[in-house]
Amino acid sequence: MSFTSLQYFLFLALTAILCYRLTPRRRNPLLLVLSLGFYAAFGPQHLPFLIASVGLSYAAGRLIETAPDKNRRIRLAAALVLNLGLLFFFKYFNFFAELVMSMFAPQRVSAGDRVLNLILPVGISFFVFQTTGYLMDVYRGKIKAERNFIDYALFACYFPGIVSGPIQRAGTMLPQYKKPSVWDFEHIKAGFLQFLWGAFKKLVIADRIAVLVNTAYAAPAEHAGLPLLFAAVCYSVQIYCDFSAYSDMAIGSSRMLGIELMRNFDRPYAAVSMQDFWRRWHISLSTWFRDYLYFPLGGSRCTKARNYLNIIIVFLVSGLWHGAALTFIVWGLLHGVFQVIGKLTQPYRDGLRRSLHIAEAGRLSLLIKRSCTFALVTLAWVFFRADSLSAAIGILSGIFAAPWTLGSLTALGLSVPALFVLLLSVLTLFTADWANDRYKLSDKLCAAVTPRFVVYLVLFAAILLFGNYGAGFDPMDFVYFKF
């Protein structure tokens, strides 16, 4: 059930009506059943894996909490092995098995063959990380193990975030499930606005830009030079719009139900460094890695060399988390390497800036930093988007090797008016992001009836007219669904 389908609107409306009428004791079982139903709509065969992860982490949380001190670590380790083992087995077993086979018995590996015919449960990376975070928090004593199974299961299965996050923390979610849903029209207004904004980003920008990106990536040789560079930049916009759209719709849906989810994006392309980028991109994942991997590895409270190694390890794992493919590993590695290089070159860059009399927080400095960060992020996205390492290298060499003539951008599958609308939509997006950050635009809109309804009208009209839906369109899933 896609967030952009009519079924989902009806499902959400019905859920909201029911939620506000019930006490938590009755509401939570109902929300759980509806969440499981929502998840089962992606294929009932995925349900047992979700239930296994939920059951396992619930029991493990209780066992860790009640264990004597000397046994807590062992119980946590066992729980993590089992929980993360589920993720590893279904998501990575074939990848590593094929990698090993290609090294030791390449003649036995043929393209497209899988070692084991495994299904990949939808959202497994998200719910396993969420439950793993819970176990770590219980082990660290940050939260108490949840006794109410329904509430815990709801934390793990809550439908807005089950498929693609944001990855929630038990410490912020479980207390919300204990409170009754108090009808507050402010929640509905704010949630609906965020949901609609997400739908605009997905249907008007991400899916339209996807046409262009898919065309270029399918035949890079035909679009070499500037069109390929344009497509690479477009992919940076596409993935931001696609993923942040999902997050907006998830957060907006949940807000309408009176439950706040974690913010997942904060103008990532306004980042002034790679480190800053990761404070703004997929915040729920980057903070998860920070709290549950980077800090346990020693974080920055160690030698510089060890710190750099920690960064590389975290981003390698982050790359692997996104997908079982070498392209994702290289993407993660690139982000790690960029951060390390950034740290290594920081004194020299500062020195150069001072010698050129460029103010640190001045506009020029910000422009240069933002442009460089965006360029590096875009370079890494090429690996993220490409089907294979060789394809990614082909795209990069296509960008740099060919004569840099613009050629015809319309050869990328969009007409001139469509490109114009796309440009206008992207400008609207970045302006709105900036205005929201600077002037708290969404809060102001929620407080004023007329401007908010004008925004509703414009967004609805844009979606109806320019949205990627209906006959003749490929109903593309959200990019992050496959992770």
The catalytic residue positions are: 322
The 1-20 contact track toward another protein, x by CB under 8 A, reads -----x--------------
Binding piece for another protein, criterion CB under 8 A, among 8-16, 100-108, 127-135, 415-423: 415-423
- Determine, following the binding rule CB under 8 A, whether residue 464 of this chain makes contact with another protein: yes
Q: Which is nearer to another protein, 151 or 207 (CB)?
A: 207
Smallest distance, another protein to C-beta of residue 6, A: 8
Using CB under 8 A, which residues numbered 131 to 190 contact another protein? 185
Binding piece for another protein, criterion CB under 8 A, among 10-18, 302-310, 324-332, 412-420: 412-420
From candidates 265, 466, 478, 483, binder to another protein by CB under 8 A: 466
Q: Which is nearer to another protein, 83 or 468 (CB)?
A: 468
Smallest distance, another protein to C-beta of residue 231, A: 20
Q: Could you give the CA distance from residue 323 to residue 337 in angstroms, rounded to a whole number?
A: 19
Q: Which is nearer to another protein, 434 or 453 (CB)?
A: 453
The residue type found at 59 is A
Q: Could you give the CA distance from residue 478 to residue 382 in angstroms, rounded to a whole number?
A: 18
The residue type found at 219 is A
Using CB under 8 A, which residues numbered 389 to 408 contact another protein? none
Q: Which is nearer to another protein, 210 or 324 (CB)?
A: 210
From candidates 409, 469, 476, 477, binder to another protein by CB under 8 A: 469
- Inter-CA distances, 318 with 259, 286, 322, 400, 433, Å: 28, 8, 7, 28, 26
Q: Taking a C-beta distance cutoff of 8 angstroms, is the pair 173, 148 a contact?
A: no
Q: 3-state SS string over the chain?
A: CCCCCHHHHHHHHHHHHHHHHCCHHHHHHHHHHHHHHHHHCCCHHHHHHHHHHHHHHHHHHHHHHHCCHHHHHHHHHHHHHHHHHHHHHHHHHHHHHHHHHHHHCHHHCCCCCCCCCCCCCCCHHHHHHHHHHHHHHHHHCCCCCCCCHHHHHHHHHCHHHHCCCCCCCHHHHHHHHHCCCCCCHHHHHHHHHHHHHHHHHHHHHHHHHHHHHHHHHHCHHHHCCHHHHHHHHHHHHHHHHHHHHHHHHHHHHHHHCCCCCCCCCCCHHHCCCHHHHHHHCCHHHHHHHHHHHHHHHCCCCCCHHHHHHHHHHHHHHHHHHHCCCHHHHHHHHHHHHHHHHHHHHHHHHHHHHHHCCCCCCCHHHHHHHHHHHHHHHHHHHHHHHCCCHHHHHHHHHHHHHCCCCCCCHHHHCCCHHHHHHHHHHHHHHHHHHHHHHHHCHHHHHHHCHHHHHHHHHHHHHHHHHHCCCCCCCCCCCCHHHHC
- Determine, following the binding rule CB under 8 A, whether residue 110 of this chain makes contact with another protein: no
Smallest distance, another protein to C-beta of residue 470, A: 4
Using CB under 8 A, which residues numbered 433 to 462 contact another protein? 449-450, 452-453, 456-457, 460-461
Smallest distance, another protein to C-beta of residue 450, A: 7
For residue 154, which of 227, 54, 229, 71 has the smallest C-alpha distance?
A: 54
Q: Which is nearer to another protein, 141 or 475 (CB)?
A: 475
Q: Which is nearer to another protein, 106 or 472 (CB)?
A: 472
Q: Which is nearer to another protein, 400 or 453 (CB)?
A: 453
Smallest distance, another protein to C-beta of residue 237, A: 20
Smallest distance, another protein to C-beta of residue 418, A: 5
Q: Which is nearer to another protein, 86 or 462 (CB)?
A: 462
For residue 46, which of 127, 155, 124 has the smallest C-alpha distance?
A: 124
- Determine, following the binding rule CB under 8 A, whether residue 375 of this chain makes contact with another protein: no
Applying CB under 8 A, what is the total number of residues that bind another protein? 23
Cβ atoms within 10 Å, residue 68: 7
Q: Which is nearer to another protein, 396 or 414 (CB)?
A: 414
Smallest distance, another protein to C-beta of residue 449, A: 5
Smallest distance, another protein to C-beta of residue 232, A: 24
Q: Could you give the CA distance from residue 209 to residue 226 in angstroms, rounded to a whole number?
A: 16
Smallest distance, another protein to C-beta of residue 416, A: 8
Residues in contact with another protein by CB under 8 A are 6, 185, 415, 417-418, 421, 449-450, 452-453, 456-457, 460-461, 464-467, 469-473
